[in-house]
Chain A
């Protein structure tokens, strides 16, 4: 697992290195994908304990079989309008590299779609949006599969750096 994960991380400019299996999920009308190797498990929505003094997108913490893990709401994180949770809402538990060990973090998404094998020729650099407010740091690239666009996310960026920065600002 680590082999492929490193490839993905080190690929940087080389977009072709990103080919592989992705778990795709929906946020509003958009489809996102994260490398399947980062996904630990998918769980249904459970009661979340709010943690004070954290950024909006940190919804709180949950009890994952005895471990307390934070849960982020991706909609809020990406500046999208929050939505009432429904029975399709779920938490994708991902594993990211922390300072000393891997850390599990839950990501709240509208719904999980499927596992897709994205081929090299289907990959494309993420387009530039000029100097808008958008945070494109966490986008690895785009995958065009069967006419649909999947936004491929760098999980470490989504939960790692972003969260740390915002926590520091608090």
Chain B
């Protein structure tokens, strides 16, 4: 212990001296300093001095930030660091008088300090005071923290901009919007103080943008102060979120609100209304938000009522943001509704559905998308009733929420179309049906009674709001008295929720121990592709330099070591770059939940979908392409595989069928497995069907496995009747084609009576292909390895011609047509005598061919490149790649090659043998 103490002292002295002398560019000195920091940390930890640990850790982070150039004013920052180390030394000696300086410095550097650790927070506040309702919903909270930080930065930038150009309406608007959003999300997250503060500032800005108040120095100061204060509060929230309730620290806002109001009152005579704002801040803010939704607020009404023709397109950026968000939200809704179906009483899930609706409502209202807003709002009301146990959850509600989700999706899709194609793409969506349905279900009618609702409604908008207004007014009253939730059922509800229902309570009292908020940024896909390309080039270039004869002739251990290091770095870089294009397969899987639900409903079967490995990552370009094959396989499993309950029970299986959907990585591939516990394939039936269709030659006896895999052939179906779902023999063909297009393979394993298993093997990425390089004359081509079955030097006795022209090769008892690559591609100098060359047997869409090439050069993973603009659709060429010598090699497209060869024909003249 004492030793550790001594060591710390020593290290601190060391640090203080070294840091005085370090030069900004001196890497080795900086490295040394970092080492000292590290060993300090170690010793402090050993000496069980948590305060020292956190202080040193904080300083180290700041120092690292400094090295990375994160601070603009590095000199000041550096001086601060030196001072802080002095403080550290003092603290070590037991004098923490200057702790404040230390914390101030950390704050100034933007490091989120944890005041409790440094012992400066007066008191964490007694339990009664801790208002931690906001912890009820961690996901929402995370989003809030991330977003608000973004908005705060934006606010600060804009406010500073205003200082030089105080009348710029656009800037004022953008600040206004940012505050408005912060207010909105803070309200939703039950961070009342933040919402109040943001709201009052919003009021001020509203005056400013309406020209009733000048954006003078005082106003700017206040706006900045508010931004800072909110920033602090968000930091506290984040801290609480990460480290537990004990970190809670009350930050007063009333003084600032007062200041804002003073500024506001200063020269506008409208301060009268402000008291109200102070007194009942949340309700007002909520009113502004939900009011916009219902068209109550006159200002919004003007803009909103004629929302038919999209004036919202003015703010294309905002709308585009809304569209992408809305899609995400709608997807989340669907996933959660399906979960809810399994557990209708789970309040958390209902909340998870409620929130996206609420967000969609809020943002659409803000953007004057009145119809979307109205529909989302109505549904939200319904869900609100459900979660307050006013009406029971039932199948009708689930159906209707799913339906609304789908409808909203098409509406959002239309907006997205409009963004791309202009207002002509506008399509009218009549929401009145849905609104009526929702309202009917809410009032307790069953869906069947209202299947064809209020067609008599003259317009889409008229009758509904009236009804709704009544509802929103009456609903919350019964629910709560003290909370300021008069007109704000949606915003204030989460609090009531937490207070009343026991279920989510654990979340509130025991927040996640160390859930880190993963910071993420959105990057343009094109930029990402550019990076991946450049990195690919780097790898090739490095290999080329390394293989340069001049370099290889040098035998310098240092050079070799450096090269090894370089290649390690480049391959690391490549891996990282590649991984950036990867996304978890979760989203695709979740879509299957809905599919299985609909399918099983339709076929009257009870099917449970079990998912595994949703976090397995896959190239984002592949996500869309695997969807179709998956759908068909799922259909096959549910429709053909799993039997109806009675049949299952008769066989001694559980009445509920299970379909397992799993994904995992294996040997550089991603494998997607679909496994049902149904009846398995009827091999005998397939065999007889195949014989009928001449797919099995007379006297041939393929194994069961081979027979089973015949279902992948186009048009093959054993179904006696064609159902709504499947039976046309198209599905499995789609699967195979789709998977082959992705250069993957699909296989089927069936165990009679126990179930069927599909195995889909896909490459991890579309950007890289595993290929065999072959030489023909002076040209080199790459054949995708997945298509290659074998290669050999053909023997004369295996080579047969038909009518002197059609060339075939006997390979393992089957006759395979020969393609002379030099002939199809018109290459000079290729080997013509077939027994001198090599044939590569390839398979494509069930067709086998033997490609005649001169030589196999090796196997290599190559990065696929398009041949650039105009040379896209060449028969037989899938693309190019850059080979290790820097030249371009062409990647063969086998389907195209086969058809090109069919067109061109054989070079042989009848009777002539080569």
Contacts and interface: CB of A to CB of B under 8 A. Distances in A.
Interface of A: 47, 49-54, 58, 60-63, 65-70, 98, 103-105, 159-160, 163-164, 167
A4 B826 CA distance: 43
Contact of A67 (B779, B868, B877): B868
Contacts of A58: 871
A53 B888 contact: no
Contact of A69 (B824, B827, B868, B876): B868
B722 to A, nearest CB: 40
A62 B888 contact: yes
A49 B888 contact: yes
Nearest to A104: B868
A58 B900 CA distance: 19
20 contacts: A49-B888, A50-B779, A51-B867, A51-B877, A51-B890, A52-B824, A52-B874, A58-B871, A61-B867, A61-B868, A61-B871, A61-B888, A66-B536, A66-B882, A70-B868, A70-B869, A103-B869, A104-B869, A163-B870, A167-B870
Interface of B: 533-534, 536-537, 540, 779, 824-827, 865-871, 874-877, 880, 882, 886-890, 900
Contacts of A52: 824-827, 874, 876-877, 890
Contacts of B900: 53
A70 B871 CA distance: 7
B303 to A, nearest CB: 35
Contacts of A62: 888
A66 B533 contact: yes
Given A67-B865, A67-B868, A68-B867, 18 more contacts: A52-B825, A52-B890, A54-B871, A61-B867, A61-B871, A61-B880, A61-B888, A63-B887, A63-B888, A65-B537, A66-B533, A66-B536, A68-B880, A70-B867, A70-B871, A98-B870, A103-B868, A164-B870
Nearest to A101: B869
B874 A68 contact: no
Contacts of B826: 52
Q: Considering residues A51, A52, A54, A163, which has the most beta carbons from chain B within 10 angstroms of its beta carbon?
A: A52
A66 B534 contact: yes
A53 B889 CA distance: 15
A44 B15 CA distance: 57
A52 B877 CA distance: 8
A66 B538 CA distance: 9
A70 to B, nearest CB: 5
Nearest 10 CB-CB pairings of A with B: A103-B869, A66-B537, A52-B825, A49-B888, A68-B880, A68-B865, A69-B868, A98-B869, A61-B888, A63-B882
Contacts of A63: 882, 886-888
B530 to A, nearest CB: 10
A103 B869 CA distance: 6
B880 A50 contact: no
Contacts of A47: 887
A29 B509 CA distance: 88
A50 B874 CA distance: 12
Contacts of B888: 49, 60-63, 68
Contacts of B540: 66
Contacts of B874: 51-54
A62 B827 CA distance: 17
Nearest to A61: B888
Nearest to B825: A52
Most buried by A among B824, B870, B876: B870
B779 A49 contact: yes
Contacts of B886: 63
Contacts of A67: 533, 865, 868
A52 B820 CA distance: 14
A15 B825 CA distance: 44
Contacts of B880: 49, 61, 68
Contacts of B877: 51-53
Contacts of B876: 52-53
B741 to A, nearest CB: 21
Nearest to B821: A52
A18 B294 CA distance: 60
A105 B890 contact: no
B884 to A, nearest CB: 11
A160 B827 CA distance: 26
B677 to A, nearest CB: 48
